[in-house]
Chains A and B, each alone.
Chain A
Amino acid sequence: MEFLNFSFLGSYYSFFLQGAYVTVLLAIISVIAGTILGVLLTLMRRSKIKVVRWISIAYVEFIRGTPLLAQVYLVYVGLPMLLQLNIPDFTTGAIALTIHASAYISETMRSGIEAVPYGQSEAARSLGMNSRRTMLDIILPQAFKNILPALGNQFIGNIKDSSLVSVIGIAELMYETTTVRGTTALGLEPIIVCSLIYLVLTLTLTRLLTFVERRLKSSDHR
């Protein structure tokens, strides 16, 4: 067996860096936009109007019950047709990842809201705050604090999930890796490099999360 040959890195390292940058960008966009959309879905789920509730449930069930890869293609092919618009590939990928993340985040958000004691809402309402004000000022801030660790995990998940948008030609880490494999005719080595970069990204984030969680906990028990 020949030794692994990493000499290609000298001329191709910038492919990996550029790819990693796009990957992180996709993950950040999709976790932020996914959170906003996720909160909206949660609020819809709690709506008094049956149809609104139903739309939210159907959306979440559909996203959770179908593969991300299928969703990526659905958005890539379907969205431009639906809107009669030419959408840049990066935007399409970001939208697909956002839609995917939002379904999971909305479920997390729901449990985060349910974990806020009912007395909080009663206290706010008894002060004359309406249900909207109560949700925005009292319930959601506490729910966010509850789900911050879960949101961090979602972010890590998004980093890995984003590899799937390489199939629609977005030049993130996985796509760049495939390019390098093709150009260098090396099968294994670029994938090893790519995997290690993903691992560095996720491990760094995990450590960061642990740190933030510890900080949050300590502020709970002063």
Chain B
Amino acid sequence: MITVKHLYKSFNSHEVLSDINCTIHDGEVIVIIGPSGSGKSTLLRCLNLLETPTQGSIIIDGQDITDRKVNIDQVREKMGMVFQQFNLFPHKTVIKNICHAPIRVRKMKRGDAEQQGMDLLSKVGLREKKDVYPITLSGGQQQRIAIARALAMQPTAMLFDEPTSALDPEMVSEVLAVIKDLAKEGMTMVIVTHEMGFAKEVGDRIIFMDGGQIVEENTPQELFRHPQHARTQNFLSKILH
């Protein structure tokens, strides 16, 4: 379980997150939506401390990760992250992208790591791509590899930062399909996305953010059909046609 309490984040004097409170239960899929600049990516990046919160606490399974004594590398091992720009390692083949951290960080045996890597490649449907370099793959393929790479650390939760925003439209669905599969398996996930149909389908709960605050959170059915706040209504009216 992840509990965020009174979280603030400022870049210099610009406040990006303001008094964020939320709880993410195990196995839950949370989708964060909101206009650009609303702080949704920053919130996600605070969850594995890619951004250091200015104030407040993030408690993961009873441990406050904003505590300076916490080994952040160990926390990150358990939190897989998938980026908008994939960020595959261009100098490593697909299988090495996936196996590197399990071998170097989790000290898995090479053979075991590669076996697991192949299983994950099958899962994302790219088994035959194991020995190619990322540059040769399409955006959708790269993002599926990036998901496999994150899963290889056997995380307890996955964070997705606009995983389909950099993709050509025809490649969006193959990536979303992989994420939906993960949701079915019960993976705890926090997803920042602009894909409203997907949000509705996969999310257990939708968080709407604006101006660095959580304006409203609810089940997809409620939030999309009966948004309570004017800002939510305004945002949804702009994107749902």
Contacts and interface: CB of A to CB of B under 8 A. Distances in A.
Interface centre among A117, A125, A127, A219 (most CB of B within 10 A): A127
B20 to A, nearest CB: 20
Nearest to A133: B104
Interface of A: 117, 119-120, 122-130, 133, 137-138, 141-142, 145, 219-222
B91 A128 contact: no
A119 B83 contact: yes
B133 interface: yes
A19 B106 CA distance: 53
Q: How large is the interface on B (under 10, 10 to 19, 20 to 34, 35 or more residues)?
A: 20 to 34
B135 A128 contact: no
B105 interface: yes
Contacts of A133: 104-105
Contact of A123 (B89, B106, B135): B89
B89 A128 contact: no
B206 interface: no
Nearest to B88: A123
Given A119-B83, A119-B85, A125 B91 contact: no
Interface string B25-48: 000000000000000000000001
B96 to A, nearest CB: 10
A125 B76 contact: yes
A127 B150 contact: yes
Contacts of A141: 91
B135 A222 contact: yes
Nearest 7 pairs between A and B by C-beta? A128-B77, A123-B87, A127-B101, A126-B81, A119-B87, A128-B76, A128-B105
A131 to B, nearest CB: 9
